[in-house]
């Protein structure tokens, strides 16, 4: 498959290098954060409902297609609030239409590849990918496989830099599902030793994430990549007000004019300082 990146303009990416953020092993989120995930998710949803007037001021879209990929065991119903919000901004938003995300099974691997090509063929150009948790890992791999089809990647609490399953509270569930995975999908090197995703990439993470260690959701910043800290539960990434503003801001950037996220002056307090 030819690899071209004419849709972005930036200095050449440096060779991959190891970041201290990726050296954490065997440290899942604390039990307090994990056990309060459902409650904090309800709070995130409530804040979203009360902040709709604020979100009306988010940057509007240019109509380009956006594919939203759900997290482990989740489906399109989980991403519905985020997709409705983005559709209201003018984007051509799509769910993945593959049912519950059971990991890299044969139907899922084949399905996301097919869907990416169908959407780009229909619109005649690259699309943006927004992936929540495991969905973000799929989004990054799609961008590596076919960068000419991907405009940018935005991940929401996606542990793509995980080096040990003990870094997630979903370890047991994931292990139960591995019997269904495609084992010919090779990842010969850990994320920290691979070349960066070759399109603009924004990684949203939360230090209060109760499902995955936040350190596994970030990478070394560079010319086309950034990490943005938000205050969110893991289960609330799809309905958190600060998350939605970042996603809207990133998607609204013109092609070839990517720049790191800067919150508007009135919203600075919504975003924790980066780690």
CATH number at residue 128: 3.40.50.1820
Number of domains the chain contains:
1
186: pLDDT strictly greater than 60:
no
Assigned domain for 5 exists: no
Q: What is the mean pLDDT of residues 128-154?
A: 97
Neighbours of 11 (CB within 10 A): 8
Total-model pTM: 0.89
What pLDDT digit, counting tens, does each position of 85-95 carry?
Answer: 999 999 999 99
* Structural domain includes residue 53: yes
State the pLDDT confidence band at 273, using cuts at 50, 70 and 90. Answer: confident
Q: Does position 21 have pLDDT exceeding 50, yes or no?
A: no
Nearest to 79, CA basis, from 22, 139, 168, 144: 139
Strand-pair category, 127-132 with 92-94: unpaired
Beta bridge partners of 154: 130, 202
Q: Is residue 93 part of a domain?
A: yes
Min mean pLDDT across 30-34, 193-197, 219-223 is at: 193-197
Residue 16 in any domain: the answer is no
What confidence tens digit (pLDDT) does each residue in 32-73 have? 999 999 999 999 999 999 998 999 999 999 999 999 999 999
**Domain encompassing residue 88:** 22-270
Q: How many CA atoms lie within 13 A of 200 on its CB side?
A: 25
Condensed to tens digits (0 to 9), the pLDDT of residues 195-215 reads: 899 999 999 999 999 999 999
Question: How confident is the model over 226-246, as a mean pLDDT?
Answer: 97
**Residues 216, 222: Cα–Cα separation, whole Å:** 17
Residue 206 falls inside a structural domain: yes
Inside any domain, residue 253: yes
């Amino acid at each position: 498959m030819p690899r071209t990146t004419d849709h972005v303009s930036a200095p050449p990416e440096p060779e991959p290098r190891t970041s201290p953020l990726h050296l954490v092993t065997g440290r899942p989120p604390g039990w307090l954060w994990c056990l309060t995930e459902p409650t904090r998710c309800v709070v995130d949803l409530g804040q979203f409902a009360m902040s709709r007037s604020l979100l009306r001021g988010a940057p509007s879209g240019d109509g380009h297609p956006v594919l939203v990929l759900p997290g482990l065991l989740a489906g399109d119903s989980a991403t519905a609030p985020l997709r409705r919000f983005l559709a209201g901004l003018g984007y051509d938003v799509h769910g993945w239409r593959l049912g519950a995300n059971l990991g890299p099974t044969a139907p899922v691997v084949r399905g996301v590849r097919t869907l990416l090509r169908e959407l780009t063929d229909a619109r005649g150009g690259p699309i943006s990918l927004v992936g929540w948790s495991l969905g973000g890992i799929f989004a990054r791999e799609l961008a590596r496989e076919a960068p000419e089809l991907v405009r940018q990647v935005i991940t929401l609490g996606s542990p793509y830099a995980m080096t040990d399953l003990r870094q997630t509270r979903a370890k047991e569930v994931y292990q139960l599902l591995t019997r269904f995975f495609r084992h010919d999908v090779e990842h010969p090197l850990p994320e920290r030793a691979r070349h960066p995703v070759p399109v603009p990439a924004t990684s949203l993470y939360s230090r209060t994430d109760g499902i995955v260690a936040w350190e596994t959701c970030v990478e070394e910043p560079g010319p086309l990549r950034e990490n943005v800290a938000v205050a969110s539960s893991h289960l609330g990434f799809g309905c958190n007000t600060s998350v939605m503003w970042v996603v809207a801001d990133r998607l609204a950037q013109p092609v070839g004019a990517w720049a790191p996220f800067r919150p508007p002056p009135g919203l600075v307090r919504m975003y924790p300082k980066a780690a």
